[in-house]
């Protein structure tokens, strides 16, 4: 592909069309990649592959960020941040096995039960975050959040609609 130095109008038209098609990465990078392609003598297919790879990566990153935002995590936590020295009786292997996300494929739930300050919410958030990164939709809520939401909905006559919202989440992750 040529650099189109002589046809800024063609570049502007292409930029408009890419904007219309919502191909933002390609819209922002086609000129620079065309210049690199010319300098490095890439084939047309190599040039196209680089454009599509960039567009795909950008779209996957945005989808991941959207899933994380829609999960309503109060903060981001990871398994690596969890202190397995406290509580001392936690089954580390069992917890780490959950992060293989088999329960998602099996359409099962994970509920962490224990006293205050033992890391239930941390693990729930970390598990939900890992699921988001793996491409799954998540809704994070503590048990008390769900109870309070449904209780308030009951008082205002919206119980059924709130219950449907909670149930509609592809994979509720409860802390």
Are residues 91 and 44 part of one domain?
no
Q: What is the mean pLDDT of residues 101-129?
A: 92
The C-alpha atoms of residue 83 and residue 118 are separated, in whole angstroms, by 10
Are residues 83 and 66 part of one domain?
no
Are residues 170 and 87 part of one domain?
yes
> Has residue 2 been placed in a domain?
no
Number of domains in the chain: 2
Q: Which of 3, 53, 64 is nearest to 23 (CA)?
A: 53
Above 50 in pLDDT, residue 4? no
| pLDDT value, residue 174 | 45
Domain boundary among 70, 94, 113: 70
Whole-structure pTM value: 0.78
The C-alpha atoms of residue 93 and residue 70 are separated, in whole angstroms, by 29
Are residues 129 and 98 part of one domain?
yes
Are residues 106 and 29 part of one domain?
no
Q: How far from 99 is each of 36, 122, 125, CA to CA, in Å?
A: 41, 13, 12
Could you tell me the residue range of the domain that residue 30 belongs to? 8-70
């Amino acid at each position: 592909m040529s650099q189109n130095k002589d046809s800024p109008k063609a570049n502007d038209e292409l930029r408009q069309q890419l904007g219309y098609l919502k191909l933002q990465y390609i819209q922002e990078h086609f000129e620079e990649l065309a210049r690199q392609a010319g300098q490095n003598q890439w084939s047309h297919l190599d040039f196209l592959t680089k454009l599509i790879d960039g567009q795909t990566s950008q779209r996957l990153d945005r989808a991941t960020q959207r899933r994380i935002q829609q999960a309503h995590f109060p903060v981001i936590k990871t398994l690596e941040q969890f202190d397995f020295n406290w509580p001392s009786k936690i089954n580390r292997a069992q917890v780490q096995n959950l992060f293989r996300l088999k329960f998602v494929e099996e359409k099962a739930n994970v509920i962490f039960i224990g006293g205050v300050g033992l890391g239930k919410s941390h693990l729930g958030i970390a598990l939900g975050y890992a699921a988001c990164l793996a491409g799954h939709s998540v809704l994070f809520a503590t048990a008390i959040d769900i109870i309070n939401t449904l209780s308030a909905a009951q008082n205002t006559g919206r119980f059924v609609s709130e219950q449907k919202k909670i149930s509609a989440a592809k994979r509720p992750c409860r802390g």
